[in-house]
Structure 1
Amino acid sequence: MPPSVASPLVDHHCHGVARADLGPEDFASFLTESDAPAAPGTTFFDTQLGFAVRRWCPPLLDLPAHCPPARYLARRRELGAREVNGRLLRAAGITDYLVDTGLPGDLTTPQELAAAGAATAHEIVRLEALAERVADGVDPPDAAEGFLHGLATAVQDAARTAVGFKSVVAYRYGLDFDPAPPDPAEVRAAAARWLDRRTPGGRLADPVLLRHLLWSAARTALPLQLHTGFGDPDLRLDRCDPLLLTDFVRAVRPTGCSLVLLHGYPYHRGAGYLAHAFPHVYTDVGLSLTHTGARAEAVLGEMLELAPFGKIMFSSDAYGLPELYVVGAQLFRRALARLLTGWVDDGSWSPDDARRIAGLIGAGNARRVYRLGAGGADG
């Protein structure tokens, strides 16, 4: 195994974990992207992800690997959320968390996550959530003007402290949006329409305003993460193919903004092509590895076919469960080690190159793209 595969990782896309103890149903809900119950007579432990949790996490809670789910969950309750979070997060071997703070729920803040994991946290600002917070604070008259002014200020303020932005336009509309920046009159009209019919807390799904958000973030020149590929039933998977972003990728290039294509599955090869063809495009397969479990090596191998090695980054996309940090890190390290060892053994790669590339994908590329510095920085 190339030694640096076991080196500390930078998790460039993740979320907070639950502060409170979780019951069996709440725990299992984090093992799936579905919004429906498991098949009759089964649970979501009966998935590649569920099996990976049972393989890697029980020993960290003083249990044998592959112990039954009920026993694992009982031990989890016995220890309590604080102890479980600390044990599992520290065991993942992650030095830096780049935390998307746009998800709802009683989740740890970036600072709390960093403290529990003995690591450093940096914030990734979710654009749609930022816009919705601004909208909640404006009142008529001239609500549209107040919203747009407040949004511009909020984006600039966020750019001073965050290390990047994130968009879920894939969920709210799809990736087949008009790639051109909307003109100011179009944006004002769209803002007026949205605010006129919006109730407090209402979601932003207007395609004009979503495009305005993307271009507002791109002009800051901070990295912009984009969800691509599979997710929960709130999206249309056929409209989440990253290749639909090709014209937007071309249009954004002059801004200096790096686009980071997240997840990708089952379109991860298309994301790899975009990273290959365009200098400002980067990619990962984070959530794909977590959910494909024992097949993670095959998925990672497909990403490594075409994407330049300086364009691929590790992420867990962990959300809610500290177990997802453990599983994400273990599956990534195991898949990459097996691939690189095979290529070294058959003479395709040298051991030194294997170690160097493992270090880039695991941490070095993220440090460069997000300007974290050699040892990271508080965010």
Structure 2
Amino acid sequence: MGAHAKPSPPALVDHHCHGLLRTEPGPDAFAALLSESDAPAPSGTTFLDSQLGYAVRRWCPPLLGLDPHCAPAEYLERRRELGPDETARRLLRSTGITDYLVDTGLDDDLTGPEELARAAGGAAWHEVVRLERLAERIADAAGDRAEFLAGLSHAVGEAAGTAVAFKSVAAYRYGLDFEPNPPGQAEVRAAADRWLACRTPGGRLTDPVLLRHLLWSAAETGLPLQLHTGFGDPDLTLHRCDPALLTDFARAVRPTGSALVLLHCYPYHRSAAYLAHAFPHVYADVGLALSYSGARAEAVLAEALELAPFGKLMFSTDAAGLAELYVVGAELFRRGLARLLDGWVGDGAWSAGDAARVAELIGAGNARRVYGLGPG
């Protein structure tokens, strides 16, 4: 490395993310991807006027040859000049993310895991299978309840042979206040009959019995099970997405050996930290929360680190659609964690060696262990 070469950022494993848009978004579509709202910004305003929007304008323009905080119109024009492929290449390759664990159940219009990893310069990719989307595809092809349930059992087992984890959005479809124990076979058959009788092709799975059946079917494979918790778009009811509601489920599912990974968690990240503290098989992240909290990301991360064991937190971006969200997620995580750890070392509360080890654990090591990825 030359005397003035910029050092490579520490490696990160993004343990929960999504693909990118294949086409260039217009200004409104770009801004909409910076919000969880399903409605336009109020007249005369934009979703770029947010902590996430300002973080994008701080960290992404220099990677495209512009000044930090340049005007949104200037940035979007530069994006159009480069095109979606070159924009993604420049942005993704700046992040230091070595492994992408991609939830493939969000939108068929997004790039798949292999395309994402190729744009990032040949990073490793791994699939996370979304349970509800899997069940909906099986239902679309099934002729009756018996065919649906047999197909679902086969599909979960087959996915367990190739994916590194399952993911559930039961928080959206029902809430986390579901009955914790596995439903009986007669209960599952009756629920499947009800759902299939009223369902149209492509219809969403919202039946609480079938959602529980999915969760338990996945847990019994032994693979990690990622669970959306905390805030999201208006499809969910926030108070029913508190991870503390999963306490009885965490107790019940522990004998399966499956790790429960609580995603996002905000504003209940302290509840998630408690569950990770109390249960050996529970893990957490605050990835999406860091991106949306922007300049306040350090405070959110500090609150998660109050109680969670350092071997239980993991880095993620939850990026979807825009490569900018990978950049912002990585920058805010690294910088927020570095400021926290430097302060604790400076106060004498931590040693420098311990700080470096914890940064590696949260950034990559914990995910490599939990998902069986092997050394980086």
TM-score bracket, shorter-length normalisation: over 0.9
Match in the other structure for 1:300: 301
Letter in 2 for 1:261: L
Question: Which of 84, 100, 103 is the aligned partner of 1:100?
Answer: 103
Q: Is the Cα–Cα contact under 8 Å of residues 5 and 358 in structure 1 kept in the other structure?
A: no
SS of 1:310's partner is: coil
Separation in 1, partners of 2:102, 2:332: 20
Distance 1:6 1:351, change over 3 A: farther
- 1:221-240 → structure 2 map (5 Å cutoff): 221-240=222-241
Deviations 1:335-362 (A, max 9, x none): 0000000000000000000000000000
Match in the other structure for 2:145: 144
Separation in 1, partners of 2:140, 2:206: 15
Counterpart check, 1:127 vs 2:131: yes
Counterpart check, 1:350 vs 2:351: yes
- 1:13-92 → structure 2 map (5 Å cutoff): 13-92=16-95
SS of 1:306's partner is: coil
SS of 2:161's partner is: helix
Separation in 2, partners of 1:103, 1:346: 44
- 1:121-270 → structure 2 map (5 Å cutoff): 121-139=125-143, 143-270=144-271
How far 1:168 sits from its partner (Å)? 0.2
Deviations 1:86-144 (A, max 9, x none): 111111110000000001142110000000002110000000000000001111xxx11
Deviations 1:245-267 (A, max 9, x none): 00000000000000000010000
Match in the other structure for 2:3: none
- Structure 1 portions without partners, runs of 5+: none
* Greater RCO (CA < 8 Å, at least 6 residues apart): 1
Distance 1:5 1:189, change over 3 A: farther
Q: Is the Cα–Cα contact under 8 Å of residues 8 and 96 in structure 2 kept in the other structure?
A: no
Deviations 1:153-202 (A, max 9, x none): 00000000000000000000000000010000000010011001111000
Runs (4+) of structure 1 exceeding 4 A deviation are none
SS of 1:10's partner is: strand
Letter in 1 for 2:31: A
Letter in 2 for 1:47: S
Separation in 1, partners of 2:44, 2:201: 40
How far 1:8 sits from its partner (Å)? 0.8
Match in the other structure for 1:12: 15
Letter in 1 for 2:115: E
Separation in 1, partners of 2:296, 2:248: 32
**Aligned residues between the structures:** 369
Distance 1:350 1:356, change over 3 A: same
Match in the other structure for 1:117: 120
Q: Is the Cα–Cα contact under 8 Å of residues 88 and 323 in structure 2 kept in the other structure?
A: yes
Q: Is the Cα–Cα contact under 8 Å of residues 165 and 223 in structure 2 kept in the other structure?
A: yes
Separation in 2, partners of 1:64, 1:16: 27
Separation in 2, partners of 1:35, 1:237: 15
- Structure 2 portions without partners, runs of 5+: 1-6
Letter in 2 for 1:302: E
Q: Is the Cα–Cα contact under 8 Å of residues 105 and 129 in structure 2 kept in the other structure?
A: yes
How far 1:41 sits from its partner (Å)? 1.2
Separation in 2, partners of 1:161, 1:109: 15
Deviations 1:227-274 (A, max 9, x none): 000000000001000000000000000000000000100000000000
Match in the other structure for 2:310: 309
Letter in 1 for 2:223: L
How far 1:5 sits from its partner (Å)? 11
Match in the other structure for 2:4: none
Calculate percent identity across the aligned residue pairs.
72
Distance 1:217 1:117, change over 3 A: same
Letter in 1 for 2:139: A
Distance 1:55 1:359, change over 3 A: same
Separation in 2, partners of 1:106, 1:225: 22
TM-score for the superposition, normalised by structure 1: 0.96
Match in the other structure for 1:321: 322
Mean alpha-carbon deviation: is it higher for 84-93 or for 265-274? 84-93
SS of 1:152's partner is: helix
SS of 1:33's partner is: coil
Distance 1:230 1:37, change over 3 A: same
SS of 2:305's partner is: helix
